[in-house]
Structure 1
Amino acid sequence: METTPRRLRAELWIVLGLSLGQSALYAVVNLLARLTAETPLRDQATALNPSRSPRPYLDLTYQLLSLGFALVPVALALFLLSEPGRRATTRIGLTFSRPGRDLAVGAGLAALIGIPGLGVYALGRALGVTVEVQAATLDATWWAVPVLVLAALKNALLEEVVAAGYLVERLEQLGWRAPAVVAASALLRGCYHLYQGIGPGLANVAMGVVFAEYYRRRRRTMPLVVAHTLLDVVAFVGYALLPTELLAALGLT
C-alpha cells in the first residue's frame, strides 16, 4: 500500500494520541488546574512513581503491568517505521552496534542536561513556578529499586523512540524543514512535562532541542536512551535512597 502524506498524517496523530500526545494534553490541562487552584503552585506536589497498592506483591504486579503496557506505543512506532529488508531499530539507531561510543555520548548528554536541570528546578521552586516533584514514593521493598530502574528505561524508550526517532522521521517524510522538525519534537517533550510546572516544561523544551537535533544529525536513538535512562535512574533511585535532610538541602523536597 502506498504511503501518502494523508496516511502519514493520520498515522502520526494515532501514534501520538496513544502515547506522548495524549500525555501532553493531560499535562496542559493539569497545569491549568494547578494554576487556578487555591493552593499556590509552589505548595503543590506531584509523585512520579507512586505506590499502587498497600499490598507489596500486588503493588509489584501493578507496577510491572503498567511498565509493560506503556511500551506498546514503542512497539507500534517501530512496527510502522519498519520497511522490507530494513529493521526499524536499525533505521533509528536503536542498536548495540557501538556500545562504547553510545555509552560515552549518552553519559555526556546526561551531564549536559542533568546538571543545569537541577539548577532550573531549584530556580523554579524559588520562583514558585514549579511544583515539588517526588521522584519516587514506592514503599521500602526489595523490588523498589529494580522497578525504578525499569521505570527509567521505560521512560527513555518511550520518549526517545516516539518523540525523537519516530516523530523526526515522519515529519521529514511530510516535508517539514529541519527547524520546524526540531521545534515540534522539543515542544512535544516540554508539553508532556508541564504537570511538573512551568520550569520543568521549559527545561524539557531545551532538552528536546538538543536531543532532536542530535538525532537529526546522527540518526541514533541509543545514546539518547542511555542519557535519558541515566537521568531518570539518578532522579528516581537517588530520591528513594537519599536521606530526607540531604534532599531538602539540594532543594529536591
Structure 2
Amino acid sequence: MPTQLPAPVRLTRRLMGLELLIVLGLSLGASGVSALISFIGSLTAPAALNTQTATLNGSLAPGRPWLDLSWQLFDIATPLVPVVLVGYLLLREGASLRSLGFDLTRPGWDFGRGVLIAAGIGGSGLLLYLGARAAGFNLTVIPSSLPDVWWRIPVLILSAAQNAVVEEVIVIGYMIRRLSMLGWSWPAIVAASALLRGSYHLYQGVGGFAGNVVMGVIFCLLYRRWRRVAPLAIAHTLIDTVAFVGYVLLAGHVSWLPT
C-alpha cells in the first residue's frame, strides 16, 4: 500500500530564517568565517600584509597532473551543491531559479549587460587592489599558481564561472528574496548582502573586503532594477576570468603586476 505523502509545511518566518542560516552555513557564510580567521592570522603574522600572499587557484596534487585535474574539478563542483539546494528550496515554495532571473530566456540581453558591468567594475577593482597593496592594507593576491598544463586555462575559466554562480545566486538572488520575505528594509538588505560579499574576501586584506562591499552594493541595486541574476553572474565570470587568465599571461612580463 503506497505511503501517503505528508501535507506541505507552511513557510513561516522562523523557518525562512533557519533556512537562510543553513544555506549560508553550508556556503558563503562559512567562507566568511574562514576568511576572517585567515585575515586575523595574516594580521598577527610577523611579516607585513603586502609581503604575504593569498593564492586563489593552486595545485592540489603537485607533480601529478591528472590527479590534480580530478581534484580541481571536484573542488569546482562541490561548492555548487548549495546552489542546487537553493533551487530545490525554491521549487518547494512553488518557485524556481527562474524566479531569480537565473535562466537562459534572455541570453543576448544578459550577456550585453554583463559585459558592460564587467568593463566598469573590472578596471576600478584592479586599481583599488594595487592601491591597497601599495598602502600595506592588502596581501599580494596570486590568482593562479597552477602548473603549465593543457587544462590550466579551462580550469581557471570554470573556477571563475563557479565563483560567479555561487555568489550571485546565493548572495544576490536567494538572500535578497528571503530577507525581503522576512520583512527587512531595502537598505538593511543591501548592507547585509554587501557585507557578506566583503566578508568572504577578507582573506585578501582590507582592499579585497572594501572592493567587494562596493561591488555588492552595485550588484544589489542592479538586481533591484532588473530582477535578474544572470547578467550579474556573467559579469562576475568575465571579471574573474580576466583576472585569472590575465595573471597567467602577464605575470613576470609587466612591472605593475605584483607576483
Superposition TM-score, scaled by structure 1 size: 0.96
CA distance in 1, matches of 2:134, 2:93: 53
Q: Which residue is 1:250 aligned to?
A: 256
Q: Which one is further off, 210-219 or 104-113?
A: 210-219
Q: Deviations over 1:69-125 (max 9, x none)?
A: 110011111111225664x22100011111111111101111121111111011001
**Structure of higher CA gyration radius:** 2
Distance 2:258 2:173 in 1: 31
Asked if structure 2 preserves the Cα contact closer than 8 Å seen for 1:193 and 1:204, the reply is yes
Equivalent residue, structure 1, for 2:110: 102
Show the counterpart of 2:4: none
The letter of the residue matching 1:174 is L
Deviation sequence 1:14-63 (CA, Å, 0-9, x none): 00000000000111111111111111101100100000002000000000
Give the corresponding residue for 1:64: 73
Partner of residue 158, structure 2? 150
Shift of 1:250: 2.7
Matched residue, 2:89: 80
Which runs of no fewer than 5 residues in structure 1 stay unpaired? none
Q: CA RMSD in A?
A: 1.1
Q: Per-residue displacement from partner, 1:191-224 (whole Å, max 9, x unpaired)?
A: 0000000011000000000111211222100000
Among 167, 171, 181, the alignment partner of 2:179 is 171
Cα distance in 1 for residues equivalent to 2:139 and 2:54: 7
Q: Match for 1:42: what amino acid?
A: N
**What residue number does 1:40 align with?**
48
| Aligned position for 2:100 | 92
Tell me, yes or no, if structure 1 residue 16 matches structure 2 residue 41: no
Supply the AA of the counterpart residue of 2:83.
V
Aligned length: 250
Compare 212-221 and 153-162 and name the one that shifted more: 212-221
**Structure 2: unaligned runs, 5 residues or longer:** 1-8
Identity of aligned residues (%): 48
Contact 1:168/1:216 (CA < 8 Å) preserved in 2? no
Deviation at 1:251, TM superposition (A): 3.1
Would the aligned equivalents of 1:129 and 1:198 in 2 still touch at CA under 8 Å? Answer: yes
SS of the equivalent of 2:35 reads helix
